[in-house]
Amino acid sequence: MKISSLLRTATVLLLALTLACGGGSTTSTTTTPPPQTLRQVAAAHNILVGAAADSPYLSDPSYAAVLGTEYSQLQAENEMKFGIIHPGIGTYDFTGGDALVAFAQAHTMVVRGHTLVWHNQVPAWVTSGGYTSPQLSTILQNHITTVMQHYAGQVYAWDVVNEAFNDDGTIRDTIWYDQPGIGFAGMGTETIEQSLTWARAADTNAKLFYNDYNDETMNVKSDAIYAMAQDFKTRGVPLDGIGFQFHVDLTFDDPNALASVATNFQRFAALGLEIHITELDIRLQDSSAASLNAQAKLYGELAAICVQQPNCKVFQTWGFTDKYSWIPGFFPGWGWALPFDANYQKKPAYTSILNAL
């Protein structure tokens, strides 16, 4: 990760030098500098600009071309989740995840892993297996260990635990926590701690993240996650950063909310944690010019907050083209959430992110 980001920085410097030399040369050749890409501008701030993707889309040439040139980080939207990667007892299927890793490596991108411990997309063999807590504990430890070791050296950071908190700051009832749980039901954040500890043992080089939504601003949920993070840092529980999802709409474009994001990022940064924007999309109810411009404004504001926070290392959207966004399927009536339209044309949001970065 460090070498690849150094390489990227060196590439950007070389490009800048080449352009500067060309500009100062006395020859009359007027070569137009190639347009900057998101990954080029972000590299100057040491920010990875990411997109979630799944491997079936890679066979769409336009999809592959945009993903491979504009983005420096790739994350599986689905193909590293429990249900896909571990579909049966003792059965692992790394096909999709491996294809994503191969694509990323071929395009000098890094890979972020998502996700090991979550209440959704858990296969029926687990949820309906009638397992006791000790059995579930073994299942989860084996899952974390096998998946992380398969991708050791290839996936630099993992969303180890995803969405374990309710919006009121309590721990969500899940199969891993208390239904029946892996053995810590009723005790707060121990399930998360145990998962992180297993993850560190599985791959000592991977950065370990807690990832969630509705915790982007200062609120009761982010307070609870902050208290956990502070406790983990104090006691040496392995935790390297927090992923903030950012599935938002235009109501998020409020000066108080944006200021609150910056304050929230800063308190986590002060614990020595990395901040990753992991699943950003800004859903709209129409694709009018006014909506697209308002969306662009908010994308730019969020990118600027990341640039201004030294510990913000990742600016990632949940997909990149409206063609394959999860939004219309999960928020009926909503869509147009990403920086490229369904024909891979750059939207105002793209330009706004580019300028902010």
Residues at the site binding ligand XIL, with contacts judged by CB under 6 A: 77-78, 162, 245, 279, 326
CA distances (Å), origin 47, targets 38, 41, 88, 91, 357? 10, 9, 37, 36, 9
Whose CA is closest to 230, among 269, 284, 172, 173?
A: 269
- Can 279 be counted among the known catalytic residues? yes
Distance in Å, CB of 78 to ligand XIL, minimum: 5
Distance in Å, CB of 37 to ligand XIL, minimum: 24
Angle at 346 between CA 274 and CA 96, to 5 degrees: 60
- Can 163 be counted among the known catalytic residues? yes
Active-site residue among 70, 77, 163, 274? Answer: 163
| Residue among 119 and 346 whose Cβ is closer to ligand XIL | 119
Distance in Å, CB of 115 to ligand XIL, minimum: 6
Active-site residue among 70, 79, 216, 279? Answer: 279
Q: Which long-range contacts (CB under 8 A, 24 or more apart) does 337-345 make?
A: 337/281, 337/282, 337/283, 337/284, 338/281, 339/299, 340/66, 341/287, 344/62, 344/63, 344/66
Distance in Å, CB of 165 to ligand XIL, minimum: 13
Calpha distance 103→195 (Å, rounded): 29
| Residue among 194 and 245 whose Cβ is closer to ligand XIL | 245
| Residue among 84 and 261 whose Cβ is closer to ligand XIL | 84
Residue 103 near residue 55, CB atoms below 8 Å: yes
| Residue among 198 and 246 whose Cβ is closer to ligand XIL | 246
Catalytic residue numbers?
A: 163, 279
